[in-house]
Every structure is written in structure tokens, then in C-alpha cells.
Chains A and B, each alone.
Chain A
Amino acid sequence: DIQMTQSPSSLSASVGDRVTITCRASQSISNFLNWYQQEPGKAPKLLIYGASSLQSGVPSTFSGSGSGTDFTLTISSLQPEDFATYFCQQIYSPPLTFGGGTKVEIK
């Protein structure tokens, strides 16, 4: 099975900050990597697919990059509604696997 290692597990940041979250796969997954945002008590929401494609309706402050085993989610300017938990997921090979999550908190 492909293991997804996400870091950091949590971070504190201020509105307007640039935030970067990383995800590493245990083997190459090409660009079959998605990013999700989850607010407390709500279902996850797709932000980025194919490692770098922005899902429709998602603000352009979100961006993704990477290929192979190393991937990055960047929020260029943190907004109040961005304080949430973020998960990466590989859809290269079943079983599909998620990273452990990164909780973005207000500093």
C-alpha cells in the first residue's frame, strides 16, 4: 500500500500569511494527488486535483505543485475562512490513502 506522509500535523498562522503544507508518497504516484479542506463537523471539500489543478469555485489563493513523491499545497494569503484541516490523498493505486492531515489554526 502507498503511505502518505503529511507535514506539519498542525500550524498556527495569521490572516494574510503564506502557508505551505507538504505531502510525501512512499512511492511514485505521478501527479495523482488531490488536496481536500475540511471544516469541523463538515464533509471534506476538494480543492486541488491532479496535484496542481484548481477545482472549480476554489479561490486562486490556493495552489498545488509536485510530481512523483513530493507535493505541496500553498495558500498564498490566509483568509479567515481558510482555518481548517487539510488532507492530501493519492488516487494512483488502491487502496486509496490519505495523509494524516494538517490543522491550520489562528495565531
Chain B
Amino acid sequence: EVQLLESGGGLVQPGGSLRLSCAASGFTFSKYAMSWVRQAPGKGLEWVSGISGSGYTTNYADSVRGRLTISRDNSKNTLHLLMSSLRADDAAVYYCAKSGSQWVAAVQGGSGYGMDVWGQGTTVTVSS
């Protein structure tokens, strides 16, 4: 069964750091780009960051660039998101999602396939 399982969420103080992880199973992890998507309480979906299947290409939303770092360990089928200098507006449910190709976006060579597998989400709360 294709599955993604996030972990690492929790309560952190403003300015603090947190590392999220996403364990993948049931597919060849290294063949697919991965993304983090977040959803603040009562709000819509916000794409945060994406990484190519090889891990060599990364992309970020303007709102998180320089504070969040995406990485992956293809030997362990795991995706990470290192979050630092956290702010109140970073509080959200964070989902990891699998893309349908090795590239995040079409201009990079990606296909038109969507994010076809999602984890259940992990909650990040930023408060003093």
C-alpha cells in the first residue's frame, strides 16, 4: 500500500526550530518529487516547498524561503522539513505529498500528474 506518514509536529516558541519528517512506503521513493503543503486553521492550502526525486533541485514559497529547508534521504525513504525562526503564521497542519513525476513543476521537466498521495498531516503550533 502506498503510504506517507508525517511526524515531528508539536508546540514551539516563536523564533524556535522544529524538524518534520515524512516516511514513505509502497513506492520507489527516489523516482518521485515530494512537496510539503500546509493549512492554517480555517484557511486554504499553501504549498511550502518541493524537492526533486534526486534531491538536487529544491523550491520554496516566498513566505518561507531562508527559514525552512527541505531535504530527503532516498536510502531511508524519508522526506524532511527543517523549520527555523518560526513565526505565529507558520502554525498549521503540514502535509507531505508525492508528485507524479521526478520533478516538482512542468518547467523543470515535470509531467502533468498531480500530487496523488498525501500523508495524514502533522500539526505545528507556534506560541509562547
Contact = CB atoms under 8 A, between A and B. Distances in A.
Interface of A: 1, 29-32, 34, 36, 38, 43-46, 48-51, 53, 55, 87, 89, 91-101
Contacts of B99: 91
Given A50-B113, A89-B47, A45 B118 contact: yes
B112 A95 contact: no
Given A91-B112, A96-B47, A43 B118 contact: yes
A87 B106 contact: no
A98 B106 contact: no
Interface in B82-126: 95, 97, 99-100, 104-108, 110, 112-116, 118-121
Chain B contact residues, majority secondary structure:
loop
Contacts of B46: 98
Nearest to B113: A49
Given A94-B50, A98-B44, A98-B46, A55 B104 contact: no
A97 B47 contact: yes
9 contacts: A43-B121, A44-B115, A46-B114, A46-B115, A49-B116, A55-B114, A91-B110, A95-B62, A97-B47
Contacts of B108: 94
B60 A44 contact: no
Given A49-B100, A50-B113, A94 B59 contact: yes
B47 A98 contact: yes
A31 B114 CA distance: 12
B35 interface: yes
Contacts of A1: 62
B61 interface: yes
Contacts of A31: 112
Contacts of B59: 94-96
B11 interface: no
Nearest to B99: A91
Given A46-B114, A99-B44, 15 more contacts: A36-B114, A36-B115, A43-B120, A45-B118, A48-B114, A49-B116, A87-B44, A87-B45, A91-B110, A91-B112, A91-B114, A92-B105, A96-B50, A100-B44, A101-B45
